[in-house]
Amino acid sequence: MQGLTQGLKVFSGRANLPLAQQICECLRQPLGRVQLGNHPDGENYCKIEEDVRGRDVFLLQPTCPPVNDNLLELLIMIDSCKRASANRITAVIPYFGYARQDRKDEGRVPITAKLVANVITRAGADRVVAMDLHAAQIQGFFDVPVDHLYAGPVLDRHFAALGLTGDEVVVVSPDEGSIKRAIGHNRRIGGKLAIVDKRRSSATQTAQENIIGGPVEGRVALVFDDMISTAGSICGAAQKVHDAGAREIHVAATHAVFCGDAIKRLHDAPISSVVVTDSIPLDNVDLPKLKVLSVAPLLAEAIRRIHHNQSISQMFRNG
């Protein structure tokens, strides 16, 4: 990685400090000093302890659970840097919360993804870096430039290192919404492509009906999704391909939200490994089959390129 010019500052909120530290190690520069805390009444406190006047500032903060606390802390950090006369403020949000509320699917409901985008922009962010948004159109909700990164190559390299490529592999999309993602993985990994037909009966209840494409029988199934939340969908898809005769099943996702009964479901499902990234911190997760990959080098390279006004898309064209 090329050396950085002067003027770059990277600060982190409390949501994922280890990831920020790894990013700064890749950039070969120290993490910026900032005081973050809470007043006795619970209000957030922030003080940037370094000069940011005229600097190119990057604020890393995934809005993972507790979503509201982490979002507010990001907004306060942005405001602190704005009032300290930073030249450009980039909000680096590896996991963007509220992304699933991206449209009105019934009457009298909000489009919260757009509301959060408005608030981040209004707070003073000049640019946003996000990773594997739940819906790609959320980029258009922001009135500032958005660099949308993909962790797919990081996941694919892991499976390639295990020798899971070629004709004995079937790449599985757990629902129709993930078809484009599965096609991308299939193009890089090879093998067959299958889609699980998922039917939703409510906001929390889904059922897997059929498998389209394949064949699955006798092959190693790689099931890809953008996030694992309650794990209902991805475990249902794993069970479906298991019933169809897959000899081995690996599931992979960028964001390990892991809420509700997710850990139990993943533990009980016929899955050989669960591969996720460190976009969200995973503390005290008891799941022996879990493998966590780091996206720090990917985010560090994106930060370097943005700072030098270089192409982000070229990162992915070069693999």
Compute the distance between CA of residue 10 and CA of residue 90 in angstroms, rounded to an integer. 10
**219-236 burial, b if ≥16 CB within 10 A, otherwise e?**
bbbbbbbbbbbbbbbbbb
Compute the distance between CA of residue 120 and CA of residue 88 in angstroms, rounded to an integer. 14
Number of neighbouring beta carbons within 10 Å of residue 160: 15
Nearest CA among 284, 219, 283, 230 for reference residue 253:
230
Compute the distance between CA of residue 15 and CA of residue 10 in angstroms, rounded to an integer. 15
Compute the distance between CA of residue 217 and CA of residue 172 in angstroms, rounded to an integer. 13
Active site residue 198: yes
Compute the distance between CA of residue 50 and CA of residue 67 in angstroms, rounded to an integer. 27
Query: Considering 198, 264, 289, 291, which one is annotated as catalytic?
Result: 198
Mapped onto helix, strand or coil, the DSSP state of residue 84 is: coil
Nearest CA among 254, 231, 249 for reference residue 152:
254
Compute the distance between CA of residue 151 and CA of residue 299 in angstroms, rounded to an integer. 10
CA 154 to chain centre: 12
Compute the distance between CA of residue 74 and CA of residue 98 in angstroms, rounded to an integer. 14
Active site members:
198
